[in-house]
Structure formats: C-alpha cells, structure tokens
C-alpha cells in the first residue's frame, strides 16, 4: 500500500503551512551570522523567489543578526500571505557573544520589536529560543501566553528543549511547535519527534542538512535529507536555509523523492 505524505501541516491546528519552509539564519552578515546581509537586494529577491516557488513558512530569530533576519523578511514579505515565525529570549550584542534572557519583560519587549521588524500586526509563531537557566520555563511561557491572549502572537513555540521542559510548558499554555536540531545523521530527538506528533505539536528541525550554524555549506544532500525528514513524521516542517535561489529551488524538489 502506498503511503500518502501530506505536503502541509496545521501548526496549532489552524495555521496551515507547507512542510518545506525557509530558515533565515543565513540572511545575515558573515562571519558568525552577525550584522545585516551584505547583498540586501539579493536577499529580498531570494525571499520573493521562495514565496513564488510555494514556500509558505519562513523561520527567523531575533539573534540572527541580531534583528537583521527579521528586518529583511519583514521588508521582503510584507503583504504576502505566508506564515512568519521568529524567536526571542536570546540576543547577540557583539559577534560571538550570546546572552539568554527569558524574563517576562524582555520577552514582551522583544515581541513588540519583532512586530515592527516583521511588519505584522500579529506574529504567526513566536518561539522561546532557549530556556533561560535563571528564569523558570513556566515564567517565560506565561509571558508568551500573555502575548497570545492579547493578540500579539498567534501561537507559542519552544526551541532547544527536552521532553520534560515541554511538559512543564504544556502545563502553562498550549505549545504549537518544538524546534530542535535533528536530521538523518543526528537523530537524538527521535523520541521527541514521536511525542510531539502524538500531541499534535509541530516539530521544526533546525540543521536539516547537517550544516554548522556558524559556517556555510552542508554535509547532507539536500533533496535526500529533506525527503527523509518529511517522510519521518507527518508533523515535521523542515526549514533549510540558503542564500541561493537555485539551492532554494533544489530544496523544494525534495518532494520528487517522496
């Protein structure tokens, strides 16, 4: 019997997106993903091409740049009917230095700044980028739930979390997605993929092609790696990143292997 593989997934039960999206980390300065993308207009053209090719889910983060990825996505995709996701709770003031702050006031301020940078009245998916060791995850998620209740964000996601942390968060608010590193060579979160699928939670693997976040290039063949992911579980939404229109189109051709 032939297995039917859905090409879309409803994040949070209502936000329908294509299961091969676009990760925006590379649309920043180099080295270290710091500063704005050096060829801004080429980045705009790439994002236009991705949307025209059928990409409906774009994933960013405050720490990418910082702020640069949110801004280029906001400029390129203003008025487009696509889903935008970003993350907060992690900042990168100078190159190579990461700060983590999951406090209520910081997260709410970052959500307001993301609304401006993404040029949206509501953010489709706002994710806690990393659990703050100084702030209980319940406090961070309560802040995101506050923003969800007042309409600033539609859905809450978590990144870099364990199953126990996910369960703690679920005790505070509905969680629509988990974003952890996962690919065909790095399967340490196999159990969490299945657990989120059972819970109706999207799993958004970063590093889907096995790339080092601070370096260009990837270990895995794009079409094969992405096809493996979308076949692995129906709740997986892959977010390969690239600065090349040709590579973006090659990523979308993963469906030919499914």
111 close to 1: Cβ distance less than 8 angstroms: no
Which residues, given as ranges, of the chain have pLDDT below 50?
Answer: 1
What pLDDT digit, counting tens, does each position of 80-135 carry?
999 999 999 999 888 878 999 999 999 999 999 999 999 999 999 999 999 999 99
What pLDDT digit, counting tens, does each position of 204-218 carry?
999 999 987 756 667
257 close to 228: Cβ distance less than 8 angstroms: no
pLDDT of residue 214: 59
Q: How far apart are CA 62 and CA 70, in angstroms?
A: 7
Q: Kindly list the structural domains of the chain, giving each domain's residue range(s) and its CATH number in brackets, ordered by start.
A: 18-257 (3.20.20.100)
Catalytic residue status for 64: yes
| Of the candidates 117, 176, 128, 126, the residue with the CA atom closest to the CA atom of residue 151 | 126
pLDDT of residue 107: 98
Q: How far apart are CA 167 and CA 158, in angstroms?
A: 11
């Amino acid at each position: 019997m032939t297995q039917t593989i859905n090409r879309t997934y409803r994040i949070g039960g209502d936000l329908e997106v294509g299961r091969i999206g676009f990760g925006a980390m590379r649309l920043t300065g180099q080295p270290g993903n710091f500063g704005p993308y050096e060829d801004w207009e080429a980045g705009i053209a790439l994002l236009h091409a991705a949307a025209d090719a059928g990409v409906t889910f774009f994933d960013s983060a405050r720490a990418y740049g910082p702020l640069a990825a949110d801004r280029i996505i906001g400029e390129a995709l203003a008025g487009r009917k696509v889903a935008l996701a970003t993350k907060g709770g992690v900042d990168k003031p100078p190159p190579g230095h990461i700060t983590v702050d999951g406090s209520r006031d910081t997260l709410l301020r970052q959500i307001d700044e993301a609304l401006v940078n993404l040029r949206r009245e509501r953010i489709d998916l706002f994710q806690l980028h990393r659990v703050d060791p100084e702030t209980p995850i319940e406090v961070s998620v309560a802040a995101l739930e506050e923003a969800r209740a007042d309409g600033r964000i539609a859905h809450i996601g978590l990144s870099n979390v364990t199953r126990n942390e996910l369960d703690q968060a679920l005790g505070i608010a509905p969680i629509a997605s988990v974003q952890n590193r996962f690919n065909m060579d790095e399967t340490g979160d196999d159990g969490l993929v299945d657990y989120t699928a059972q819970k109706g939670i999207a799993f958004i693997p970063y590093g889907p092609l096995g790339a080092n976040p601070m370096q260009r290039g990837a270990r895995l063949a794009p079409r094969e790696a992405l096809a493996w992911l979308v076949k692995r579980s129906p709740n997986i939404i892959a977010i390969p990143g690239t600065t090349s229109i040709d590579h973006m189109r090659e990523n979308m051709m993963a469906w030919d292997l499914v």
